[in-house]
Amino acid sequence: MNAPPGKDIWRSPIRGAWLTSILGLVLLVGLPVLFLTGLLSYAAYDPALGGRFNDPTPGKGILGFYLFEWPTRPAWLFWLTQGIHVIGGLMLVPVLLAKLWSVIPKLFALPPVRSLAHLLERLSLLLLVGGGIFVFVTGILNIQYVYVLPAGFYASHFYGAWVFVAALALHVILKARTMVTALRSRSIWNELRTGLADTRPEPADATGLVSTVPAEPTVSRRGALGFVAAGSALLALLSAGQTIGGPLRRLAVLAPRGGAEGPGPNDFVVNKTAAYRRITPAQTGPSWRLDLRGFESVSLSRSDLLALTLHSERLPIACVEGWTTVQTWTGVRLADLAALVGVREATGVAVESLQRGGGFGSANLAGNQVRDLRSLLALRVNGADLSLDHGFPARIIVPNTPGVHCTKWVSRLTFWT
């Protein structure tokens, strides 16, 4: 049976409130997890430490109400939360696309506005759909190191997430009863046992999702859900390796920091190379000095640093793009360097790099990060001197700290109390 010209062009017989509600339920479980891990990621940047160093979202106002001193223990916490955020976000992409497909008749319904209440609902949908697409697209672009937003990724993603979550909360309030009714209308276990031959349209209802002239089914609801689940699993498989490491890293073909790492002491993933940051061997040669400031000022060569008491720690570097690497670092404790300039109980340190340009050439670290005895100014990695790309002559390594704050090519440390 053909649809009348210009009417009911969305004829899939599997569309309906039940399928939309199942997909919505998955998103309702997954999206709050992404939002929470995203907020934790923002807290890990310690924007309360202030200024242009740590806070890429100026004017956050009340949106920063939850901020707290980011802990250094366990050392793998940021690795875990950011891994969940990135991998979980990618896994939800097929679910989000399927959800948009399932409600597309509503997006093009005529007339576009029937009442004031309907207008408010349409506006909430605009923020919900637009915000969801914006947040997911900006997140994926960041994973791939594509920066095209004039306001920058961090500010855009942060504010976009709040708009999206606010619209999601309103949408859930408006649609909760419809969703519960739809989910109770049929058993998911029965649907998962229903093949193509037995697939029938849902009964027509007030949602407007069920076609009045449904076409013959080409896929069952079981098949559609299986296709979405397979897509999510495939995205996880092709991206999780850069976070998990080990043999899975070879499968991370969708991740810029996937692939094999190799056997060398310095042969592991690097974010920005020395050439990219315009660091030259002349800057890091024999004339390099580390400038320490506190109650006193001290200037140390690399040989001076190597003559101090050295410590080794096996710690991860985890980055907001989702990749992680775990190595054994050797260097001088930040607490010992603070003591050299008379700061016995440091409440923070400003770290400055030789690099010029870029968003994270400097960082502020909190007092608990300085005082943690595993926090190092690293000089070596895996028993070898740092390579230039990994921050030679010295770099910061702090447990449970975003990789961008493990500053490379350090030139100055200013401790305060």
Write the pLDDT tens digit of every residue in 83-137.
Answer: 999 999 999 999 999 999 999 988 887 788 888 877 877 888 889 999 999 999 9
Confidence of residue 227 (pLDDT cuts 50, 70, 90): very high
- Long-range Cβ pairs for the range 164-168 (8 Å, 24+): 164/127, 164/128, 164/131, 164/132, 164/134, 164/135, 165/31, 165/35, 166/127, 167/124, 167/127, 167/128, 167/131, 168/31, 168/128, 168/132
Residue partners of 291: CB distance under 8 A and separation at least 6: 297, 298, 299, 411, 412, 413
Which of 139-148, 193-202, 252-261 is predicted least confidently? 252-261
To 5 degrees, how large is the angle CA 135–CA 140–CA 146? 110
Note whether 132 and 96 are within 8 A (CB): yes
pLDDT at res. 46: 84
Query: Is residue 5 very low, low, confident or very high in pLDDT (cuts 50, 70, 90)?
Result: very low
Q: What is the mean pLDDT of the chain?
A: 91
pLDDT at 2: 45
Provide the token pair at 81: 């939360």
* Mean pLDDT, range 134-163, rounded to an integer: 91
Longest dimension (CA), the chain: 87
Q: What are phi and psi of 110, to 5 degrees?
A: -120, 145
Is the Cβ–Cβ distance between 115 and 72 less than 8 Å?
Answer: no
Task: Round to whole Å and give the CA distance between 49 and 381.
Answer: 29
Distances (CA, A) of 46 to 50, 299, 325, 407: 8, 28, 22, 15
Measured from the Cβ of residue 278, the count of other Cβ atoms closer than 10 Å reads: 12
Instruction: State pTM to two decimals.
Output: 0.92
Per-residue pLDDT tens for 327-376?
999 999 999 999 999 999 999 999 999 998 777 788 999 999 999 999 99
Q: What are phi and psi for residue 351, nearest 5 degrees?
A: -110, 130
